[in-house]
């Protein structure tokens, strides 16, 4: 057994559900990790001995971010589309086809190299758990290959062949839906490549009837649904998410009070994606309505080459607080414990005894600095299962301040 002790933590965010406050914050704390798992949490003065000691030296420690929504298997660049949007053009589902062409031309090695680069970047900003979707290949073999690549890097893989209807099926979209149902879902399930199933239920993508057929087929093969719902309009996707008991409904930009009530009842997590509203100039939803309705809310990056190409959760949190009316505490909870709920994970998203020891030491005395200092790197060291995976040495750590 190996043990690691992090001491002298000014603020330790535990997300302990039994605490009085949302984040279960402890002051002057220490954290003991044994074999990759949190074994003890308490006051620094009472910390047990360990093989290795990491002094946090008055900095804050938070759980690793759980980013439950990502499209990272792709090739190509859509920065021109982004620039045009900032100059006034509207975002539509149509842009996905550009990435599909580039992805089909890329080799598996190129796709994996791009994925690894994006994962390392995200770790650098404190993310320790990732969900990854397919959805830029849209043929049986390319979708399965995307999942195989993703599966080498995470257990949270999602078949999203229902991203858009590919050009070759434009005249007969239901034949593409048949292909997903008859071939892609059974193979992804049989080969153990996907845990989840996602559908972009939206104008220009898949309608309610098609989404329902795809979700039912997924459920029959053990792939639980998470849906892109109500991103660009309210065409009934959120109501469908509640009806099928989706684990998560993502984007959730336009949601009626009636749907919020149903979602709260069913327990579907609503995953908000602040970077998408930022990068598409869509209106920001006001999360106070969601919280008041009793909905569990997660924050994810939705990193993708089209609607939002950021994989920085601190950036998403800053937008969530500034423009979507999250409190700083709610934003941090949603990006950690909320993401874990969206993936039905009980081992990540918190730092309580038994949790996987995924955490970041900040370059700041308080978790609030994540939002208080937008655009400034506040993540000093990142650990997954007690192992250092990323470090951002800064000459100006708070321990050196007067």
Q: CB under 6 A: which stretch of 13-21, 94-102, 169-177, 341-349 binds ligand NIG? A: 94-102
| 63, 64, 95, 274: residue in contact with ligand NIG (rule CB under 6 A) | 95
Residue 133 CB, nearest approach to ligand NIG (Å): 8
The sign one gets for the Cα dihedral 314, 269, 272, 291 is negative
Strand-pair partners of 251: 229
85: partner contacted, choices ligand NIG, Fe ion, none (Cβ within 5-8 A by kind): none
All residues at 6 or more sequence positions from 115 whose CB lies less than 8 Å from its CB, including other chains: 72, 73, 132, 149, 150, 153
Residue 13 CB, nearest approach to ligand NIG (Å): 28
Q: Report if residue 358 touches Fe ion, rule: CB under 5 A.
A: no
Residue 95 CB, nearest approach to Fe ion (Å): 13
Q: How many residues in total does the chain contain? A: 402
According to CB under 6 A, which residues from 371 to 400 bind ligand NIG? Answer: none
Dist CA 362 CA 380 (whole Å): 5
Residue whose C-alpha is closest to residue 328's, from 23, 124, 65: 23
Q: CB under 5 A: which stretch of 117-125, 189-197, 300-308, 391-399 binds Fe ion? A: 300-308
Nearer to Fe ion, 34 or 302 (CB): 302
Nearer to ligand NIG, 149 or 201 (CB): 201
Residue whose C-alpha is closest to residue 121's, from 307, 311, 371, 346: 311
Q: Report if residue 260 touches ligand NIG, rule: CB under 6 A.
A: no
Q: Report if residue 231 touches ligand NIG, rule: CB under 6 A.
A: yes
DSSP per-residue codes, 26-75 = EEEEEEEEETTEEEEEEEGGGPPP-SEEEE-TT-EEEEPEEE--B-----
Cβ–Cβ under 8 Å, residues 188 and 144:
yes
Return the DSSP state at 356.
Answer: B
Residue 17 CB, nearest approach to ligand NIG (Å): 30
Is 392 annotated as a binding-site member? Answer: no
Nearer to ligand NIG, 157 or 378 (CB): 157
Dist CA 290 CA 320 (whole Å): 13
| 96, 244, 364, 371: residue in contact with ligand NIG (rule CB under 6 A) | 96
229: partner contacted, choices ligand NIG, Fe ion, none (Cβ within 5-8 A by kind): none
Residue 302 CB, nearest approach to Fe ion (Å): 4
Cβ–Cβ under 8 Å, residues 309 and 273:
no
Residue 133 CB, nearest approach to Fe ion (Å): 7
How far from 22 is each of 11, 16, 18, 270, 286, CA to CA, in Å? 14, 8, 9, 18, 20
Cβ–Cβ under 8 Å, residues 244 and 212:
yes
Considering CB under 5 A, how many residues would be counted as binding Fe ion? 1
The sign one gets for the Cα dihedral 293, 295, 297, 302 is negative
Between the two ends of the chain, the Cα-to-Cα distance in Å is 39
According to CB under 6 A, which residues from 173 to 212 bind ligand NIG? Answer: 200
Is 163 annotated as a binding-site member? Answer: yes
Is 228 annotated as a binding-site member? Answer: yes
| 16, 259, 302, 358: residue in contact with Fe ion (rule CB under 5 A) | 302
Closest-approach residue to Fe ion (CB): 302
Q: Report if residue 304 touches ligand NIG, rule: CB under 6 A.
A: yes
Binding site for N-formimidoyl-L-glutamate, by residue number, is 136, 304, 306
Binding site for 4-imidazolone-5-propanoate, by residue number, is 78, 136, 163, 231, 307
Residue ranges binding Fe ion (CB under 5 A): 302
Residue ranges binding ligand NIG (CB under 6 A): 71, 95-96, 99, 200, 228, 231, 276, 302, 304-307
């Amino acid at each position: 057994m190996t043990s690691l002790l992090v001491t002298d933590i000014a603020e330790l965010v535990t997300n302990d559900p039994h605490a009085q406050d949302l984040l279960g914050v402890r002051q002057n704390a220490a954290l003991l990790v044994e074999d990759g798992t949190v074994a003890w949490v308490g006051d620094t003065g009472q910390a047990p001995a360990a093989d290795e000691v990491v002094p946090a030296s008055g900095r804050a420690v938070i759980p690793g971010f759980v980013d439950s929504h990502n499209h990272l298997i792709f090739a190509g660049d859509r920065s021109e589309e982004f620039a045009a949007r900032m100059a006034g053009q509207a975002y539509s589902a149509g842009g996905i086809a550009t990435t599909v062409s580039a992805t089909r031309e890329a080799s598996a090695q190129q796709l994996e190299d791009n994925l690894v680069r994006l994962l390392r970047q995200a770790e650098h900003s404190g993310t320790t758990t990732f969900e990854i979707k397919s959805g830029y290949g849209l043929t049986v073999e390319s979708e399965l290959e995307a999942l195989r690549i993703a599966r080498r890097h995470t257990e949270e893989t999602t078949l999203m062949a229902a991203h858009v209807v590919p050009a070759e099926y434009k005249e007969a979209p239901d034949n593409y839906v048949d292909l997903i149902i008859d071939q892609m879902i059974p193979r992804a399930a049989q080969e153990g490549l996907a845990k989840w199933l996602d559908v972009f239920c939206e104008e220009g993508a898949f309608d309610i009837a098609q989404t329902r057929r795809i979700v039912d087929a997924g459920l029959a093969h053990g792939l639980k649904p998470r849906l892109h719902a109500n991103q660009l309009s309210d065409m009934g996707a959120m109501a469908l998410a509640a009806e099928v008991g989706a684990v998560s409904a993502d984007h959730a930009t336009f949601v009626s009070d009636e749907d919020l009530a149903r979602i709260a009842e069913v327990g579907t997590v609503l995953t908000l994606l602040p970077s998408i509203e930022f990068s598409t100039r869509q209106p920001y939803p006001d999360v106070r309505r969601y919280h008041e309705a009793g909905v569990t809310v997660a924050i994810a990056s939705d990193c993708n080459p089209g609607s939002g190409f950021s994989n920085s959760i601190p950036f998403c949190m800053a937008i969530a607080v500034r423009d979507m009316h999250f409190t700083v505490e709610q934003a941090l909870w949603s990006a950690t414990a909320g993401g874990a709920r969206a993936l039905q994970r009980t081992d990540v998203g918190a730092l309580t005894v038994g949790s996987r020891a995924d955490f970041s030491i900040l370059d700041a005395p308080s978790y609030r600095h994540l939002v208080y200092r937008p655009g400034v790197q506040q993540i000093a060291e990142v650990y997954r299962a007690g192992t250092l995976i990323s470090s951002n040495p800064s000459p100006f750590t708070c321990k050196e301040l007067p």
